[in-house]
Amino acid sequence: MDGVINILKPTGMTSHDVVGFIRKNFKIKKVGHTGTLDPNAAGVLPICIGKGTKLSQYIMEKEKSYRCELIFGKTTDTLDSYGKIISEKLIDPIDFYDIEKTVKTFIGQISQIPPAYSAIKVNGVKLYEKARKGIEINDIPIRTVTIHNINIISYEFPRLMMDIRCSSGTYIRSLVRDIGEKLESPSYMSLLIRTKSGEFKIEEALAIEELTEDILNEKLTSLKDIKLNMQDITLKSSASVSYINGSYVSQKGLKSTLCEYQAEENVRVFDELGSFIGIGKIREKDSVKYLKGDTLLI
């Protein structure tokens, strides 16, 4: 069994819990998730099975979409509703125009400090392990992320509901904190639902309670049907063995036209019979493009 199953992760379960559930209940050895979704968050969690685990890194790096609720007036140590209140401020209702104007300033490439309660490792130790011990954390690495769009769904002070489309690696809790700070109000995230992860949508996600072996077989997205937002490229039969053995393949060994692809672009590689054999990368040397294997699925 090879492919990806789109799971609707419930609150209270970790991503690892979902992997363990599938591995145990369906006796599958190779199972992996495509990036941690906070235990207190719900939503889309693509789970890779068999050879699908080789595609997890590519699914993980795709953009994500979330529905998020922000509460003005207080903040917590975890930046969500499960933490301890550490700051509270009595404020007047914030004008919607000011919120709308402020939210727009976060669209684009931004610098972000992840929450202290996160799985990011510093010197080999996860931040949340330090935070739970009460250790002051001053060395959280700043990361650069991209917010593609923020759409305000509703606002009734102190609650603000937003849909957010962003790059992989974005911490929505940090975004909520930063929006609040810019509006001079403490804030925290009271709700988070991931509505999309790459090509996997919440409308098509399966609740873990309804998962059976028959449904798993029926709803499993095959390797060939996982698009990964990549172009396809086809090898000639004469070049397949060389490609599989790690050699560079020039235009001579391809049915596709190399000039149509960008250097350093990842592509889905097919053999002449239409079998999906893995992910390749377009390389360029002395203005000549080649195809080189990146991940094999055979």
Q: Using one digit for the tens of pLDDT, what is the confidence trace for 9-38?
A: 999 899 999 999 999 999 999 999 988 888
235 φ/ψ angles, rounded to the nearest 5 degrees: -85, 150
Read off the tokens for 293. Answer: 């294997």
At 157, the amino acid letter reads F
Beta strands in 39-158 (DSSP E): 42-49, 64-72, 74-76, 85-88, 108-112, 121-122, 125-126, 143-156
Range of the domain at 162: 64-196
In our burial notation (b when 16+ CB lie closer than 10 A, e otherwise), range 92-104 reads eebeeeebeebbe
The secondary structure of 156-216 as a DSSP string is ETTEEEEEEEE-TT--HHHHHHHHHHHTTS-EEEEEEEEEEETTEEGGGPEEGGG--HHHH
pLDDT above 80 for 120: no
Q: Across residues 64-74, what is the average pLDDT? A: 97
If one counts the domains in the chain, the total is 3
Residue 12 belongs to domain with CATH number: 3.30.2350.10
Q: Which residue among 17, 38, 77, 92 is the active-site one?
A: 38
pLDDT above 80 for 197: yes
* Lowest-pLDDT choice from 65-79, 115-129, 171-185, 232-246: 115-129
Rounded distance between C-alpha atoms, residue 185 and residue 176, angstroms? 11
Tell me the pLDDT of the chain averaged across its residues: 93
Q: Work out whether strand 159-166 and strand 121-122 pair parallel, antiparallel, or are unpaired.
A: unpaired
- Is 38 marked active-site? yes
Q: Residues 76, 70: contact at Cβ < 8 Å? A: no
94 shares its domain with 150: yes
Domain boundary among 225, 241, 264: 225
84 shares its domain with 156: yes
Q: What angle do CA 93, 98, 104 make, to 5 degrees?
A: 135
At 294, the amino acid letter reads D
83 shares its domain with 161: yes
Q: Work out whether strand 3-9 and strand 143-156 pair parallel, antiparallel, or are unpaired.
A: unpaired
Q: Residues 230, 62: contact at Cβ < 8 Å? A: no
What percent of the chain shows pLDDT beyond 70? 93
113 shares its domain with 42: no
101 shares its domain with 31: no
104 shares its domain with 180: yes
Q: Across residues 43-54, what is the average pLDDT? A: 97
For the stretch 216-272, pLDDT in tens is: 999 999 999 999 999 999 999 999 999 999 999 999 999 999 999 999 999 999 999
251 shares its domain with 278: yes
Read off the tokens for 197. Answer: 């992860």
28 shares its domain with 93: no
Positive or negative, the Cα torsion across 162, 166, 169, 175?
A: negative
pLDDT above 90 for 188: yes
163 shares its domain with 204: no
71 shares its domain with 42: no
Determine whether 144 is exposed, middle or buried from the number of CB atoms within 10 Å of its CB (0-12, 13-18, 19+). exposed
